[in-house]
């Protein structure tokens, strides 16, 4: 019967019955089932992934039907692991499985959008001015017009525009800014290139070609652990997750593996079947606790105290009482523990000074090259030697930068003494700073003297200047610092774990709340396992520890434990830090593309924390002083000023970058120098010394020294990572904000010394904000122009992670929907418009670039002994030594598009490299000419083309040693020249392997071992950081060439952090000023505000995804304890308000017994665009998690020009910590939706 007739009752066929009429057989049509079949049918399957900074880097099947993505599921064809290891797959999570919802959702950006008010002004200006640059000038130079459209930011009002119109406006604004103020006033923010490296490179390449500023991300996100550069000279290098399976004892410390590392969590579960013990250390009962044998719950922010106590146990039992031969040999060979430290005399005791150098001794121990950068130790023959490997051997000579146990002068084998005890000249009292007594009402303290004197064995040496000095070893200092009794009648050392002395388990129990027995047991088991397995004990660590102000103390505590137990560089052991998808594996192939190093060098880089701290005027509200942070051993008179002053000093001494760089347009300096008959560098030096040119950071409010144009792509800066959100709204955007506090002037507080104070800070500094996104995020809401990008299923790109060793693609399964374009095509279009619009305004120009002293360059040997500031007359201004490098860069602005779409000649003239080594790339350029073809004419004639994103990917793959075996061999050979040891054997078996883009579309490919990284990609060992340092004897890139426990820079010593100490969370002073001031009649309470990573999103992505909203509570939530909720009369799902002097937010309460009292958690990152009522405090819509935060930079993170403590983009610098923050929490009374639709309500005080 036909489908049509089937619809009528009269034509229905009666089926045969059975089971006494309870069942009936029907022969009705089953075509209704086709709807279900069609839902899962498809025309093709394409491989792609999600560029979302989750570290998962999972390969997915994208199913396409009729040109539309219908669904996705996990790929299962990763290359197999060796027989004794579980495979990596399946990789994925529910968040990734919901991504296809975005492509055709209402949230999808379909067309270029422009704010209506700005569009009206632009079209009127274009009607009056034929030149787009003049048209833009007529708008932005009219204060009322500029203020008018800036105040509309965040209030909607977008209208559809065209690509031609938005590109022309953007180009006009960029040209105007470059011409009027300088190219460094144009900036761009995009994070984590590893998640979609071509997309990142597209914007960074455009900015670098015009001289714009690329802003860092890893430090701003507070994903950067400064302890890693401090200890190893490495930004971050960690084991792949498969190496967890090789461990036999794992501590998950502040890392919620099943929730935030979902694709890798199976390794954590699987290794337990082998008998591996797992311990969770988290303040709340997180999901990781359910997977562990033991859960320890220290008070949040006190992790360093517990690590110190565990280290105390390890040193006592495995280094002193029953020394482990493996541990002793490990710390002798691979750490700075044998190195000598000079002691400085104080009143009644000594203090540890800087490390002894060869240059300090008579005849410099025979060292002529860099003797002031070669550390000294004592061998078993009681001789002073400068062993191989210190950083002085890295630069200026070849063949001795290795960890062979040899005297660097004679070449003889050397067995270094760890301790001077038993071979000492005297016993000296040495003072150590103690901060554990700095109590606050929210954190426990243990009152002891702020200087603890310990007795140490010392030797007396004759120095080159004729004076004598007492020295001791780092090992002896470390044992004393941990409070270990060595029979020297040291009153401040403990003879029992039960003594409440720094840093015993009993002491830690009072600070952390964790029973001492659990601390002792865990430390003992961890070390015992490491001793028996030679280092197979591991700590998985994450943002839970790294987002505190004193994050480096937390991390150094864990790192010390691992070093004491010989775990670093051993498979199954080590430091597994996973915060952010930082592992851009083909890094050296990507850098020339991203920063246009193929056309001009250097690029302008800026650390975002200092940038936003300055330009969003958060420094104007700073309540923390440097004097509070100083060691009791320091001369405080040398450290006056506010935190912003230290940042300015660091910039002018060449330690940190600056942006804008100088208080004048850098394009004009060369012309002024020519008029004066000088070269640009000498002219700039002279002008800086005379004060006719100043650093822009010294006058941030003068109207010329702030950013003007900001690009944001692949990021939700204002809805996710923007700490100090309300300050950004006021000072950068010039729109409504929720700041509740007073600035330094209004408070009558001490003003900065280096920065000129203006009573009324400059609002609305940014003239144009452009955001690229595939969805309407919070950042889009605050932008002037929004450009629709292709989703991760609509573009070609590449993705890598630290969690596995594979590289795989993002692929265009379908064409970009509506009028969206890939990032590469968008920036290519902007570059084209810029090249056209700039004619008549900009031509070939000389740009003066200031470059901070770079890590992994010879310049990192800048000031070896102490700190001298040229502006204070303590030394001369020497570019690259006491000040930044000053480098003229030639730019050809009309050729911007030609250069954007081709590979420049510098790859052949200079070559490529990374991390201090370089190699020739002629053969790779020849290959790229064949792969990508060449430019037929124009300024780039004969150069390989970069027309498409795949062309860009091929450039990366061809130039990177990780994806081109021939380059890998060249890179290892280049390193071998430095070390004097042959390392090429690590890649020769892959010399003929070349990975192409189509290869990774067919299947994920395992990368090739490269000297860019410290682990091996090998069939017999899983990737583990530090492996080549230990097994190939390649030095760490530190002062001593070893793992550096002792930080001897003058600032590190004076801020009390040369050795590990416990420092309690800082007092942000953001609560008392607002507590009870705007009461709504409900109780208020101050709680610590934490922002861990969430379950239903990756950062802010997926937080507006309907599938994830359905699984969660459907909007912003804040977790709190049952006891705190009871005190405040709050029940689960009540609307609450969270506020302090920085701003306010609204959310629903989640009341849970898993949360301890005294803290509250708002999972990162929940936006202000879903289900958010107005705030009773501000009268504005809600706020986000960062509405109640404000950053405070740490001076020790500003150090530069000093071996491993030197600047590198995303390597070292100030970080955006936020977990020390406290907030006031209360139940809301009036729920106002601010929509005028009558849905407002009054929430009862008590239910």
User: For residue 5, is pLDDT > 60?
Assistant: no
Report yes or no on 927 lying in a domain. Answer: no
Instruction: Please tell me the distance from the alpha carbon of residue 692 to that of residue 426, in angstroms, as a whole number.
Output: 55
Report yes or no on 490 lying in a domain. Answer: yes
In this structure, the answer to whether residues 353 and 454 fall within a common structural domain is yes
User: For residue 11, is pLDDT > 80?
Assistant: no
In this structure, the answer to whether residues 1153 and 1183 fall within a common structural domain is yes
User: For residue 1088, is pLDDT > 50?
Assistant: yes
In this structure, the answer to whether residues 479 and 519 fall within a common structural domain is no
Q: What is the CATH number of the domain that holds 17?
A: 2.20.25.90
In this structure, the answer to whether residues 381 and 462 fall within a common structural domain is yes
Report yes or no on 390 lying in a domain. Answer: yes
Q: How far is CA 797 from CA 203, 208, 717, 1212, in A?
A: 14, 20, 22, 28
Q: What is the CATH number of the domain that holds 256?
A: 3.40.228.10
Q: What is the pLDDT of residue 544?
A: 85
In this structure, the answer to whether residues 354 and 454 fall within a common structural domain is yes
852 DSSP 8-state letter: P
User: For residue 897, is pLDDT > 60?
Assistant: yes
Residue corresponding to tokens 């060595």 = 486
- With cut-offs at 50, 70 and 90, classify the pLDDT of residue 17: confident
Q: Report pLDDT digits (tens) over 367-391.
A: 999 999 999 999 999 999 999 999 9
Q: What is the pLDDT of residue 372?
A: 98
Instruction: For residue 76, count other CB atoms closer than 10 A to its CB.
Output: 12
Helix/strand/coil for 19: coil
CA dihedral 702, 705, 710, 714 (to 10 degrees): -120
Q: What is the pLDDT of residue 907?
A: 98
Helix/strand/coil for 467: coil
User: For residue 1, is pLDDT > 50?
Assistant: no
Q: What is the pLDDT of residue 3?
A: 57
- Here the contacts of 2-7 (C-beta below 8 Å, separation 24 or greater) are 3/29, 3/31
Q: Report pLDDT digits (tens) over 320-351.
A: 999 999 999 999 999 999 999 999 999 999 99
User: For residue 1203, is pLDDT > 80?
Assistant: yes
- With cut-offs at 50, 70 and 90, classify the pLDDT of residue 1235: confident
**How confident is the model over 73-89, as a mean pLDDT?**
93
User: For residue 1097, is pLDDT > 90?
Assistant: no
Q: By the 8 A CB rule, do 308 and 1070 touch?
A: no
Q: What is the CATH number of the domain that holds 1133?
A: 2.40.40.20
Instruction: Please tell me the distance from the alpha carbon of residue 601 to that of residue 847, in angstroms, as a whole number.
Output: 11
Domain closes at, from 77, 103, 129 = 103
Instruction: Please tell me the distance from the alpha carbon of residue 160 to that of residue 787, in angstroms, as a whole number.
Output: 10
Exposure b/e, 636-657, CB count within 10 A at least 16 = b: eeebebbbbbbbbbbbbbbbbb
Report yes or no on 1030 lying in a domain. Answer: no
Q: Tell me the pLDDT of the chain averaged across its residues.
A: 96
Q: Report pLDDT digits (tens) over 939-990.
A: 999 999 999 999 999 999 999 999 999 999 999 999 999 999 999 999 999 9
Report yes or no on 369 lying in a domain. Answer: yes
In this structure, the answer to whether residues 1150 and 1127 fall within a common structural domain is yes
Task: Provide the domain count of the chain.
Answer: 4
Domain closes at, from 64, 86, 103 = 103
- Which residue would you say has higher pLDDT here, 59 or 5? 59
User: For residue 2, is pLDDT > 70?
Assistant: no
Instruction: Please tell me the distance from the alpha carbon of residue 206 to that of residue 170, in angstroms, as a whole number.
Output: 12
- With cut-offs at 50, 70 and 90, classify the pLDDT of residue 156: confident
In this structure, the answer to whether residues 466 and 571 fall within a common structural domain is no
Report yes or no on 1169 lying in a domain. Answer: yes
User: For residue 510, is pLDDT > 70?
Assistant: yes
Q: Report pLDDT digits (tens) over 436-490.
A: 999 788 999 999 999 999 999 999 999 999 999 999 999 999 999 999 999 999 9
Instruction: Please tell me the distance from the alpha carbon of residue 823 to that of residue 210, in angstroms, as a whole number.
Output: 18
Q: Report pLDDT digits (tens) over 1175-1190.
A: 999 999 989 999 999 9
Nearest Cα residue to 456 out of 496, 483, 495 = 483
In this structure, the answer to whether residues 472 and 535 fall within a common structural domain is no
- With cut-offs at 50, 70 and 90, classify the pLDDT of residue 1246: low
Q: What is the pLDDT of residue 891?
A: 99
Instruction: Please tell me the distance from the alpha carbon of residue 955 to that of residue 981, in angstroms, as a whole number.
Output: 30
User: For residue 1120, is pLDDT > 60?
Assistant: yes
In this structure, the answer to whether residues 489 and 530 fall within a common structural domain is no
In this structure, the answer to whether residues 490 and 538 fall within a common structural domain is no
Residue corresponding to tokens 């009773």 = 1176
Report yes or no on 331 lying in a domain. Answer: no
In this structure, the answer to whether residues 378 and 460 fall within a common structural domain is yes
Q: What is the pTM of this model?
A: 0.97
Domain closes at, from 541, 556, 577 = 577
Could you tell me the residue range of the domain that residue 358 belongs to?
Answer: 336-503
Q: What is the pLDDT of residue 20?
A: 85
Report yes or no on 908 lying in a domain. Answer: no
**How confident is the model over 1030-1050, as a mean pLDDT?**
99
DSSP assignment of 146-184, as one string? HHHHHHTTTS--EEE--HHHHHHHHHHHHHHHHHHT-GG
Helix/strand/coil for 353: strand
Percent of the chain at pLDDT exceeding 90: 91
Q: What is the pLDDT of residue 963?
A: 99
Burial of 443 (0-12, 13-18, 19+ CB in 10 A): buried
In this structure, the answer to whether residues 393 and 412 fall within a common structural domain is yes
Residue 1171 structure tokens: 């289900």
Q: Report pLDDT digits (tens) over 169-224.
A: 999 999 999 999 999 999 999 999 999 999 999 999 999 999 999 999 999 999 99
Least confident of 12-26, 230-244, 349-363: 12-26
User: For residue 854, is pLDDT > 80?
Assistant: yes
User: For residue 129, is pLDDT > 70?
Assistant: yes
Give the strand pairing for 917-919 and 912-914.
antiparallel
């Amino acid at each position: 019967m036909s489908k049509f007739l089937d619809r009528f009752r009269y034509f229905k066929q009666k089926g045969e019955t059975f089971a006494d009429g309870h069942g009936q057989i029907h022969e009705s049509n089953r075509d209704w089932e086709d709807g279900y079949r069609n839902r899962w049918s498809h025309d093709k399957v394409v491989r792609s992934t999600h560029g979302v900074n989750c570290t998962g880097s999972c390969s997915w099947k994208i199913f396409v039907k009729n040109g539309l993505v219908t669904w996705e599921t996990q790929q299962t064809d990763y290359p197999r692991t060796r027989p004794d290891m579980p495979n990596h797959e399946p990789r994925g999570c529910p968040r990734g499985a919901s991504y296809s919802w975005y492509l055709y959702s209402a949230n999808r950006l379909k067309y270029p959008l422009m704010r209506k008010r700005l569009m009206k002004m632009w079209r009127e200006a274009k009607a009056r001015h034929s030149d787009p640059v003049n048209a833009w000038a007529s708008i932005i130079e009219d204060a009322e017009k500029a203020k008018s459209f800036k105040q509309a930011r965040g209030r909607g009002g977008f209208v559809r525009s065209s690509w031609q119109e938005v590109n022309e406006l953007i180009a006009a604004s960029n040209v105007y800014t470059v011409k009027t103020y300088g190219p460094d006033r144009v900036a761009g923010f995009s994070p984590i290139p590893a998640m979609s490296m071509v997309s990142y490179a597209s914007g960074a390449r455009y900015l670098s070609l015009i001289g714009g500023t690329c802003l860092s991300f890893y430090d701003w996100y507070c994903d950067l652990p400064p302890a890693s550069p401090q200890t190893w000279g490495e930004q971050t290098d960690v084991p792949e997750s498969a190496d967890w399976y090789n461990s036999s004892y794992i501590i998950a410390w502040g890392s919620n593996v099943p929730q935030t590392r979902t694709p890798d969590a199976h390794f954590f579960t699987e290794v337990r079947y082998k008998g591996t013990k797992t311990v969770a250390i988290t303040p709340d009962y997180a999901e990781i606790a359910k997977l562990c044998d033991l859960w320890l719950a220290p008070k949040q922010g006190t992790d360093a105290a517990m690590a110190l106590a565990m280290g105390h146990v390890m040193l006592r039992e495995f280094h002193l009482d029953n020394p482990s031969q493996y541990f002793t040999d490990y710390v002798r060979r691979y750490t700075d523990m044998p190195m000598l430290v000079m002691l400085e005399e104080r009143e009644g005791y000594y203090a540890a000074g800087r490390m002894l150098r060869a240059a300090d001794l008579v005849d410099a121990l025979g060292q002529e090259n860099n003797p002031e950068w070669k550390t000294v130790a004592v061998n078993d023959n009681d001789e002073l030697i400068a062993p191989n490997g210190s950083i002085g051997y890295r630069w200026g000579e070849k063949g001795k930068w290795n960890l062979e146990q040899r005297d660097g002068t004679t070449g003889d084998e050397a067995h270094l003494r760890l301790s001077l005890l038993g071979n000492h000249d005297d016993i000296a009292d040495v003072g150590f700073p103690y901060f554990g007594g700095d109590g606050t009402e929210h954190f426990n303290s243990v009152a002891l003297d702020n200087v603890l004197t310990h007795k140490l064995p010392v030797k007396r040496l004759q120095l080159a200047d004729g004076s004598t000095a007492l020295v001791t070893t780092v090992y002896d200092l470390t044992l004393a610092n941990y409070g270990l009794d060595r029979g020297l009648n040291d009153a401040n050392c403990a003879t029992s774990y039960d003594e409440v002395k720094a840093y015993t388990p009993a002491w830690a129990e009072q600070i952390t709340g964790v029973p001492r027995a659990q601390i002792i047991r865990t430390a003992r088991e961890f070390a015992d396992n490491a001793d028996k397995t030679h280092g197979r004990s591991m700590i998985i660590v994450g943002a839970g520890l790294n987002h505190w102000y004193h994050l480096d103390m937390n991390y150094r505590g864990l790192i010390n434990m691992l070093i004491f137990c010989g775990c670093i560089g051993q498979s199954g052991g080590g430091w597994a830090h996973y915060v952010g998808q930082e592992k851009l594996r083909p890094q050296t192939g990507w850098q020339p593309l991203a920063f246009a190093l193929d056309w001009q060098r250097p690029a302008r880089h800026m650390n975002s924390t200092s940038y936003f701290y300055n330009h969003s005027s958060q420094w104007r509200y700073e309540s923390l002083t440097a004097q509070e942070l100083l060691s009791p051993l320091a001369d405080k008179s040398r450290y006056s000023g506010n935190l912003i002053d230290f940042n300015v000093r660091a910039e002018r001494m060449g330690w940190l970058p600056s942006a804008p760089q100088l208080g004048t347009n850098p394009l004009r300096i060369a012309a002024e120098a020519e008029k004066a008959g000088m070269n640009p560098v000498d002219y700039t030096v002279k002008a800086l010394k005379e004060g006719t040119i100043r650093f822009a950071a010294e006058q941030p409010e003068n109207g010329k020294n702030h950013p003007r144009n900001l690009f944001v792509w692949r990021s939700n800066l204002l809805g996710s990572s923007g700490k100090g959100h309300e300050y950004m709204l006021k000072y950068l955007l010039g729109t409504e904000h929720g700041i509740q506090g007073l600035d330094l002037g209004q408070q009558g507080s001490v003003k900065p010394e280096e920065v000129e104070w203006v009573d009324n800070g400059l609002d609305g500094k940014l003239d144009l904000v452009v955001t690229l996104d595939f969805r309407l995020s919070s950042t889009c809401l605050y932008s002037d122009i929004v450009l629709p990008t292709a989703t991760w299923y609509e573009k070609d790109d590449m993705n890598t992670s630290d969690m596995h060793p594979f590289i795989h693609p993002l692929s265009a399964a379908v064409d970009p929907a509506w009028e969206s374009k890939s990032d590469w095509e968008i920036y290519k279009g902007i570059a084209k418009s810029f090249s056209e619009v700039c004619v008549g305004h900009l031509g070939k120009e000389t740009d003066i670039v200031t470059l901070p002293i770079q890590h992994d360059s010879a310049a990192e040997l800048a000031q070896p002994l102490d700190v001298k500031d040229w502006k204070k007359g303590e030394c001369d201004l020497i570019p690259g030594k006491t000040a930044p490098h000053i480098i003229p860069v030639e730019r050809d602005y009309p050729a911007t598009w030609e250069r954007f779409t081709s590979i420049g000649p510098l790859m052949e003239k200079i070559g490529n490299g990374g991390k201090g080594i370089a190699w020739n790339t002629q053969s790779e350029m020849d290959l790229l000419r064949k792969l990508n073809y060449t430019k037929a004419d124009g300024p780039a004639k004969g150069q390989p083309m970069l027309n498409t994103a795949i062309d860009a990917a091929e450039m990366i793959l061809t130039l990177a040693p990780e994806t081109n075996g021939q380059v890998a061999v060249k890179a290892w050979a280049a390193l071998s020249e430095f070390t004097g040891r042959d390392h090429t054997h690590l890649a020769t078996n892959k010399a003929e392997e070349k990975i192409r883009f189509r290869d990774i579309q067919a299947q994920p490919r395992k990368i090739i071992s490269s000297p860019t990284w410290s682990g091996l990609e090998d069939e017999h060992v899983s990737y583990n950081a530090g492996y080549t340092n230990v097994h190939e004897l390649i030095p760490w890139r530190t002062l001593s060439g070893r793992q550096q426990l002792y930080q001897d820079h003058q600032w590190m010593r004076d801020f009390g952090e040369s050795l590990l100490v416990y420092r309690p969370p800082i007092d942000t002073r953001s609560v008392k000023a607002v507590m009870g001031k705007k009461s709504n009649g409900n109780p208020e309470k101050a709680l610590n505000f934490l922002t861990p990573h969430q379950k239903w999103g990756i950062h802010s992505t997926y937080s507006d995804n309907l599938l994830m909203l359905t699984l969660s509570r459907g909007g912003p939530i804040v977790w709190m304890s049952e006891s705190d909720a009871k005190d405040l009369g709050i029940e689960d799902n009540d609307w609450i308000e969270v506020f302090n002097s920085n701003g306010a937010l609204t959310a629903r309460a989640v009341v849970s017994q898993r949360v301890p009292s005294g803290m509250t958690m708002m999972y990162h990152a929940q936006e202000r665009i879903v289900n958010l009522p107005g705030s009773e405090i501000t009268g504005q819509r809600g706020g986000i998690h960062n509405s109640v935060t404000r950053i405070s930079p740490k001076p020790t993170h500003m150090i530069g020009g000093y071996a491993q403590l030197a600047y590198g983009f995303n390597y070292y610098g100030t970080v955006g910590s936020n977990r020390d923050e406290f907030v006031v929490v209360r139940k809301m009374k009036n729920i106002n939706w601010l929509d005028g639709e009558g849905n407002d309500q009054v929430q009862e005080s008590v239910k």
